[in-house]
Amino acid sequence: MSTPQPPTLAKLIVGFFTKDKGLIESLEKELTSEVGEVVNRSPWLPFDYTDYYESEMGTPLFRRMLVFKGLIEQADLAGIKIATNNIEKRFADNDKRNVNIDPGYMLPERFVLATGKNFTHRIYLEQGIYADLTLIYQKGGFVKLPWTYPDYADERMLDFLKEVREKYMVELKSTYKGE
C-alpha cells in the first residue's frame, strides 16, 4: 500500500515569446504583481521552430524564460495559468496576442507546463487547465519526450533549465532543512 505524502514544492518558471522585445519591462511588471519577483532570466532565444503563430503574432519571434523567487505548491499551477492567460489578453491588440505566456514548474525529476489543451499525455488539474509533462530529468540532464515542443527541446533551453535546476535543488534542500 502506498502512503500519501505531501507533494514537493516546485520552482515556478514562466516562458514567453513575442515579436516585441520592448514588452519585457511591462510584462515582467504584470507577472511580478501576479506571481512574484523574477530572480533569473534566460537570454533571448530565437523562436523559429514553427510558423503556427505567424499570422497572429508576426515574425520574427523571440523566447525568454523567467524564474521566480521562492517555491510554489504544485496545485497553484492552474491558477497561475489563468492569471497568465489574462495577462495575454491585456497585451493583445484586436484579439491578436502580442505575447504567448507558458507558466510551468520544475521538480527534481521533471519539468511541467500548464496548458488549456487536452492531449493523451496531459493530466487535468482544474479550471480547464492541464499539466503537460514536457521534460524528465535523468542521468544528469533533461530528456526530451516524443511530444516535447521543439523550443523546449533546444539545447540552449535544456542548458538553461539545467542551471535553474541546480539552484532549485539547493533552495529545495534549504527549505526542507528549515522545516
Percentage of the chain exceeding pLDDT 90 = 93
Residue 177 pLDDT grade (very low, low, confident, very high; cuts 50, 70, 90):
confident
Q: Check: CB of residue 105 under 8 Å from CB of residue 72.
A: yes
**What is the average pLDDT score of the chain?**
95
- For residue 101, what pLDDT is reported? 97
Q: Render pLDDT for 101-118 as a digit per residue (tens, 0 to 9).
A: 999 999 999 999 999 999
Q: How far is CA 48 from the centre of its chain?
A: 18
Indicate whether 60 pLDDT > 90. Answer: yes
Tell me, what amino acid is at 84? T
Spatial CB neighbours of 174, under 8 Å, sequence gap ≥ 6: none
Beta strands 110-115; 129-138: pairing state? antiparallel
Indicate whether 178 pLDDT > 70. Answer: no
The rounded distance, in Å, linking the Cα atoms of 83 and 77 is 10
Spatial CB neighbours of 119, under 8 Å, sequence gap ≥ 6: 130, 132, 147
The pTM assigned to this predicted structure is 0.95
- For residue 179, what pLDDT is reported? 55
Q: Render pLDDT for 8-58 as a digit per residue (tens, 0 to 9).
A: 999 999 999 999 999 999 999 999 999 999 999 999 999 988 999 999 999
